[in-house]
Amino acid sequence: MYISITGIKYKGLYKTFRFWYYTIPSFVSARKAKGNIFCDQKKIGEYHHTLTAWENKEMMMNYIRSKFHLKAMKNFQSIGTGSTFGFEGNEIPNWNEALKIWKDNFKEV
């Protein structure tokens, strides 16, 4: 199974609206995507996080190339800063574990 953990911090109030404009369709699309096992989001501190699990990396990559995700990614740097970390795993981490993994591998974009 392939796990992906993302965190983004918006660049001000106006960017928050843009974030949601792109994120909601992308998140709904992820939930419906073939191969998606788990999809959740949570705001912790200044970062909005997503935690997803996929049957395998190839299925996650197929979702990444979908129109909703591509649109969101094209606008990522104008909306905020953050990073994504993905890895192979045997079980879906809980939020505390996921945040530790994300922080340990954080590389701001």
Number of domains in the chain: 1
State the DSSP code for 40.
E
φ/ψ (deg, to 5) at 12: 105, 170
Q: Is residue 54, in this structure, part of any structural domain at all?
A: yes
Domain that holds residue 76: 2-104
pLDDT digits (tens, 9 = 90+) for 51-71: 999 999 999 999 888 887 767
Q: Is residue 28, in this structure, part of any structural domain at all?
A: yes
**Parts of the chain with a pLDDT under 70:** 70, 75-76, 108-109
Structure confidence at residue 75 (pLDDT): 67
Q: Is residue 109, in this structure, part of any structural domain at all?
A: no
Q: Residue 59: which CATH number?
A: 3.30.70.100
**Consecutive H or E run containing 24:** helix 13-32
